[in-house]
């Protein structure tokens, strides 16, 4: 079990990035959350099996069809014990 904090920048708000992230996280059986930030970025914490979290991070580099992702910064953090994945 691992947990990563992600900061996604680019054209990632108003393009269904959060909803698509939740759908992907659910399909990978990951827990955590995703939210828009005032500076135009999207932040997330993703927790689960390491290989699934890495798959999620790779997906975040593309995002949904209308997103233009410039960068995904990710740092491993302590596991949080999340149950399910939510949009904040």
**Catalytic residue numbers?**
18, 36
Q: What φ, ψ does residue 21 adopt, rounded to 5°?
A: -65, -45
Cα(71)–Cα(42) distance, integer angstroms: 11
Cα(58)–Cα(76) distance, integer angstroms: 15
Identify whether the C-beta of residue 7 lies closer than 8 Å to the C-beta of residue 60.
no
Termini Cα distance of the chain:
23
């Amino acid at each position: 079990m691992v947990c990563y904090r992600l900061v996604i920048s680019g054209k990632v708000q108003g393009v269904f990035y959060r909803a698509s992230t939740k759908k992907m996280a659910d399909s990978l059986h990951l827990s955590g959350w995703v939210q828009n930030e005032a500076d135009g970025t999207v932040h997330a914490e993703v927790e689960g099996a390491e290989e699934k979290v890495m798959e999620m991070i790779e997906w975040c580099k593309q995002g949904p069809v209308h997103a233009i992702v410039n960068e995904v910064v990710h740092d491993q953090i302590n596991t949080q014990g999340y149950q399910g994945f939510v949009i904040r």
